Structures are given as structure tokens and as C-alpha cells.
Amino acid sequence: MNTDPQQNTSVLCIGSIGKDVFFPTNQGTIMETPDDMLSQKKIAFELGAKIYVEDRVECVGGCAANVATGIALLGTKTIINSIIGSDQTGEWLKEELEEKGVSIQNLQRANEKKSDLSMIVVDQRSGQRTIFVSRDVGEKLRVQENMLPKTSHAYIASLHGEWESNIQQILLYKERTGTKIIYNPGQHNIHQNVKKVLEMIAQTDMLFINKDEALEILSQQNDQEELKKQNDPQFLTNQLRILGTKMVIMTDGQNGAWAHDGQTFYTACCLSHTAIDATGAGDSFLSGFVGAILKEKTPDQALQWGTANATSVVQKYGATPGLITIDRIEEEASKVEIKKESIKI
């Protein structure tokens, strides 16, 4: 008889997958264009020139793939529900996932379609990047609740394509299985249909969101002047909990991260580090936090795991090469300072 609850713990990760190829370079010219409100800085290369790069980095990308990989490396079974094309890139993605211990039993394959691919030019002097995205198959993901395996948890990433109908299928899946939902909506989801996002939040056990996204959601529910006056993390996370989620985890880049579980408000300070690429920082933080919770750690310990994981990831190019494994996470997490305070009513 199985008496270890962790033996039955698994996470279904629903969302995007693709291949990321990084080209770090110091050959570009950064130009200030203040008159262009939508693009105030640009990087330029000589038209027709051949630019040599010393090295390139190829790795798995996409929210679902990043999180599935991160949690798997922290010792919990993960299953990815995403879609690839019928090409060599798709085969490469499958091999990479399996090598990291991610189950591909629910990985869909679209015939005569190309797998998603991103080419990322990184300016080595500033660390800023420009991403060229080819999303051929990513918007074709179709979630069918009766085809999803029963897992203890399901992570829902930023979804593309017919994402509203996919959200509806996920809600039916939760109703059927009782799985705990981990939700990380994308900014485009909030822009396109905030009501559907709110419907999902109401059924969520853990909501991950950055501060800008939190303000955007709450500005449609609250007086904007009140939000400006009360623009502090505890107020914002409390307002998000009112929407129905059990726990809110909010990030704000170098300003740190916070968690609110209804009783205690937790603050994690950033570790001192040199970041060379911010790609995947949010996904690695999320996988670290969730990985800790699934190992029965407390929210403050989970913040430490998440912060340590993100700190490691941003010191390498790509979202997965810097992920921390289960044998190293405790040591790295112990370096993160946490503050706790009771919730102010």
C-alpha cells in the first residue's frame, strides 16, 4: 500500500513549446529613437552584411516546456500537453523533453506544420534582446478535457489561438478530476478577454502573475486612483485573492517576489547576481515555487526555491540551461532572505 502522498503527485503542463536559438553579439548599433513612442530604442546592423557570432545557444522554450522541465528536475513527475510540427525541430524537442524526464504522452503533433521557432539576438553589452518568433503550430493547440490524464495539479500557461475554448475545457477537466490549478495568464489573454481570465482565476489554487499584469486586471475591477494610492504588493495580492484564488504569487523583476495565502504575506528579496539573459526568469521562478510546494515545503521556502531557480537561469542564455536540480536547490535557496508578516485586514 502506498503511504507516501508524493508518490501520487504529478503536474500536467498545458501551453506552448518551441525551440529557442540565441545569437549573442556586440556587433549591433543601439540607436535612441525618442520620437517613436512604440519603439524608443532600436538595434541596427549593416544591411547586406554577414555578422559572425562566437557561439550560439539552442534550447527548449515555451512556457509549458520550461515549467515542465523545471519541475521535473526538482523531482516531481510532469506531463506536457502542447503541440509540435511534423519536422526535425519537433523530433528534437521530443528528445530534449524526454532527456529531462518530462512525459510526452500528451504531446500533440500536427501534420504538415512547422514547430514553433524563435531566433533571439542578444546585445552582449546591455543584455537586451530582440526576439523573432515563428509560431506556425503553436496556435493550433486544442485541449480536450476527456483526453487529459488525471494528475494532482495542472499548470496552465499563457495560451494562444483558441485559448478561450481551451480554458473552458480545462475548467471541465478540473470539475471532473478535482485537480488543483496553477494559472499564469498572459498579457494578451488579459487584453483580449479579461472575463475569461477572471473565470479561470476563480477556480485557481495558485495564481502566478507579475505586477504589471496584476495592475491591469485590477484596474478593470477597481477605481484606478485607489489602485495608485494603494500601489503596494500586499494590497495588490489581497485584491487578487478576493477574485477567488487560494494563493497569489506576484513578481516584479529586481524588486523581488511576494506570496499571499490569506493568513501571511511573504516577501522574497532578490539575490545579488549578474544577469545576461532574462528569458525564462518567470517560468523558472514558477517551477521552483511549485516544485517546493509539491515537496511539502512552506510558502516562504517555496519563495526561496523560486528565487534561487530564477537567479540561476538568468545567468545563462535560454530558459532551461540554468535550471537547478533537486540535489542543489536547498543549498542555493538558503541564500534567499524572506520576510513574513500577518495579513492586514
Residue 261 in this model has a pLDDT that exceeds 80 = yes
pTM comes to 0.92
CB 135 within 8 A of CB 162: no
Residue-wise pLDDT tens digits, 163-178? 999 999 999 999 999 9
Residue-wise pLDDT tens digits, 304-319? 999 999 999 999 999 9
More confident residue, 268 or 55: 268
Q: How confident is the model at residue 1 (pLDDT cuts 50, 70, 90)?
A: very low
Q: 18-22, 189-193, 215-219, 331-335: lowest mean pLDDT where?
A: 215-219
Residue-wise pLDDT tens digits, 200-222? 999 999 999 999 999 889 987 77
CB 178 within 8 A of CB 8: no
Which pLDDT does position 36 carry in this prediction? 84
Residue-wise pLDDT tens digits, 270-285? 887 788 888 889 999 9
Domains of the chain: 12-29+52-342 (3.40.1190.20)
Residue 5 in this model has a pLDDT that exceeds 70 = no
CB 177 within 8 A of CB 219: no
Which pLDDT does position 270 carry in this prediction? 87
Average pLDDT of the chain is 92
The whole-number average pLDDT for the span 88-105 is 97
CB 143 within 8 A of CB 81: yes
Q: How confident is the model at residue 22 (pLDDT cuts 50, 70, 90)?
A: very high
More confident residue, 184 or 227: 184
Q: How many helices (H) and strands (E) does the chain have?
A: 11, 18
Q: 104-108, 144-148, 223-227, 341-345: lowest mean pLDDT where?
A: 223-227
Which pLDDT does position 227 carry in this prediction? 67
Which pLDDT does position 129 carry in this prediction? 85
Q: How confident is the model at residue 2 (pLDDT cuts 50, 70, 90)?
A: very low
Residues 182-221, buried b or exposed e (16+ Cβ, 10 A)? bbbbbeebbeeebebbbbbbebbbbbbbbbebbbbbbeee
Which pLDDT does position 6 carry in this prediction? 59
CB 51 within 8 A of CB 6: no
